[in-house]
Amino acid sequence: MPDLSRQLRPTSDQWEWQLRGACRAADPEVFFHPELERGAARQRRDAEAVAVCNRCPVLDACREHVMKYREPYGVWGGLTEEDRERMWSQRRREERLTRRAG
């Protein structure tokens, strides 16, 4: 018989913060751009989403999640897709420099 004590257990406590997110009361379309949205329309929608995030009680947990799990789409933790890509690129550059120096 398999040892059931070593199997994975539910980890809802790791995700419970999402239940308190300000985004839950907002229109989800604010956080994810429609196909081919560009320019001023995208900037306005992103700014609206970031404004929701900036008053969110779980902003830090959301930002930690998006950076750890590399969510590719939408505004998460007050960061747009472009913001996150810049941060990930910067992190990669810093890691390369650290490896070269070490």
**Residue 17: DSSP 8-state:** G
The pLDDT score that the predictor gives to residue 13 is: 64
Would you say 99 is a known binding-site residue?
Answer: no
Using only the alpha carbons of the chain, give its radius of gyration. Answer: 18
Quote the tokens at residue 13.
């406590």
Q: Is 27 exposed, middle or buried (0-12, 13-18, 19+ CB in 10 A)?
A: exposed
Mean pLDDT of all residues in 65-80: 95
Would you say 101 is a known binding-site residue?
Answer: no
| Residue among 63, 50, 67, 49 at smallest CA distance from 18 | 63
Mean pLDDT of all residues in 2-9: 52
Would you say 23 is a known binding-site residue?
Answer: yes
Question: CB of 65 within 8 A of CB of 77?
Answer: yes
pLDDT digits (tens, 9 = 90+) for 10-67: 556 678 999 999 999 999 999 999 999 999 999 999 999 999 999 999 999 999 999 9
